Amino acid sequence: MDSLIPISKINDFLFCPYSLYYHGIYEGFSAKVCHSVAQTAGKIKHETVDSGTYSTAKKYLQGVDVCSEKYGLVGRIDIYDQDSKVLIERKNKITRIYDGYKYQLYAQYLCLTEMGYEVLKLKIHSLSDNKNYAITLPAGDELAKFEQTISDMRAFDVVDNGFKKNPAKCAQCIYRELCC
């Protein structure tokens, strides 16, 4: 198996594969150097899950490390409700459900199920407006698209890849000054 893929990088890769390259360069720097206001706000709101202080209820697993040998994935879940068997990914503000959001949740689901947990439902929670979005369990074409994304991540070559930049995405990218 090639190196492990961090679950958090799936959304970045789907936004733009080059962002993973720049993300790797800046990972050792302070977030103040390269994070946008939205990224900083999201990180702050995510702290309760990361620290395990979202809730004191024993039914919630919070910020637990997960892995999948089959897919070569590692990461952390946000929240898993052991009573209702619901896995929840939290985002600061959702204006649209992107494939990257779903695939991060799929990766967490696949890791948890491989680790022996039963997951019956998936949700993405928008913190800013307190809305929940039900996500179907990965199967069929959706699972195949997820698996192709993982394969594409493993095969991506920053120098020789044929990737076409998307000007609309580039305009929103924190690395646009370095890349364009």
**Confidence label for 42 from pLDDT (cuts 50, 70 and 90):** very low
Q: Are 85 and 123 in contact (CB under 8 A)?
A: no
**Confidence label for 117 from pLDDT (cuts 50, 70 and 90):** very high
Element (H, E) at 152: helix 140-155
Rounded distance, CA 161 to CA 55, Å? 44
122-146: pLDDT as tens digits: 999 999 999 999 999 999 999 999 9
16-36: pLDDT as tens digits: 888 777 777 777 655 555 444
The mean predicted confidence, pLDDT, of the chain is 84
67-100: pLDDT as tens digits: 999 999 999 999 999 999 999 999 999 999 999 9
**What is the strand order of the sheet 5-6 is part of?**
5-6, 73-76, 65-68
Q: In terms of C-beta density within 10 A (0-12 exposed, 13-18 middle, 19 or more buried), how is residue 144 classed?
A: exposed
Cα→Cα distances 4→7, 35, 75, 146, 154, Å = 9, 24, 10, 16, 9
Cα→Cα distances 29→4, 38, 45, Å = 22, 18, 21
State in Å, rounded, how far the first CA of the chain is from the last one.
33
Task: Write down the CATH number for the domain with range 5-179.
Answer: 3.90.320.10
Q: Where do the structural domains in the chain lie, given as residue ranges?
A: 5-179
Rounded distance, CA 54 to CA 163, Å? 40
User: How crowded is the C-beta side of 15, counted as CA atoms within 13 Å?
Assistant: 22
Q: Are 85 and 119 in contact (CB under 8 A)?
A: yes
